[in-house]
Amino acid sequence: MLEPLQRYIGTLADAPAPAEWPYVVRSPGRINLIGEHIDYTGGLVMPAAINHHIHFVVRPVEAPEWQLHAVDIEETFTLPLPITGRTEHLWVDYLAGIGVQFQDQGHFLPGLEIVFGGDLPRGSGMSSSAALEGGMAYLLNELLSVGLTRPELANLCRRSSNTFLGIPSGIMDQYASLNGRAEGPIVLNCHTLESEPVKNKLRGYGLMLVNCMVSHDLSDGAYGKRVAECNRALTAIQVKFPEVSYLSAATESQLDAVVATLDPTVTKRARYVIRENDRVRRAITALEAGASSEMGALLNETHRGLRDEYEVSCAELDFLQQTATEVDGVAGARMMGGGFGGCTINLLRLDRFAAFREQLTQRYQQQYGLTPEFYPVEIAAGTEMI
């Protein structure tokens, strides 16, 4: 995966020798097996880092600036130091925001030339943005010898998204990218930021992401609206049950006790959150028991909740999910990520991968005239210097 970056470096004016690029960071994307859209409500999530990455190749420069090269999109940008604010380029701001976090802690940012790229498709739900943030945070933490732990780096990345970019995101994506384990997924408590490994005893099954190749404009602002709706539900519940400190800690009976005070839409959002938190607990049991049918059923339940209660799906994702469940050897499927486009995640037998691709491609082309992309994914280690 480093070859495209090395070829690009060779095209730079007065191309520095390879030895002059002493730092290489590999930052993975992530999947989330289950626990969708509840990280910002303090819920339980089950993410994993995957074997699709962004690589950063870095060298120090004397000038007080970051010379940034985004190879995949063929853009460059020179960012003066110290960083004083946002630019007109979102990809630059993801990196600049991380720099601001270190500046705010009193650290002097070094001049750097950074070439980066990888095999993480943007808009597919594998969180290329978290890989960008996590890789930059990990790099600066090492170069500046700050000594932040991986969970602390994830929190720094979330703070950057929230305060610098104005994105009201939770911490799951950055946490999974930085803290993933090659041995299996983790369960993260997004309220306490405590995590533990999950014993995955499913045998003969793998994970396949299917990109529906669409992104609907109606998603604009939808994320912030869901956050606000969840906050309204929590406020109403706390009036009657002040001991409930975050929405995922509520029960359905507590929600039912205040439903008369809530807008029906807000009620649906809260009901999804509470039920999804419970599904994560059940998924831990299913994985540790090697119960593929139970795990698949939970994925299907989550998709129905995202479609009908949280309303962040779209027709194309619904079609792919329904079609997948009709293929022999598929235990279950659901949309993954923010919604309104991107990928489904599918749990299926390893010996059915080829047939799965063929059947979904044919049916999706017939229905929408689009060819989906398929990404078999393996669970991998978190961000690292290589």
Catalogue the active-site residues.
173
Token readout for 249 is: 């800690």
- Widest distance between CA atoms in the chain: 70
Token readout for 345 is: 């995640």
| Rounded Cα gap, residues 283 and 42, in angstroms | 18
Extended beta strands in the chain, E state: 23-32, 44-45, 47-60, 65-70, 75-80, 112-118, 186-189, 194-197, 205-215, 330-336, 341-349, 373-377, 384-385
Give alpha helix (H) positions in 12-51: none
Q: Which residues pair with 28 in a beta bridge?
A: 53
Strand order in the sheet with 205-215: 330-336, 341-349, 205-215, 373-377
| Rounded Cα gap, residues 333 and 29, in angstroms | 20
Q: Which residues pair with 77 in a beta bridge?
A: 68
3-class state of residue 56 by DSSP: strand
Token readout for 222 is: 């939808």
CB 49, CB 30: distance < 8 Å: yes
The region, left, alpha or beta by phi > 0 then psi within -120 to 50, assigned to residue 311 is: left
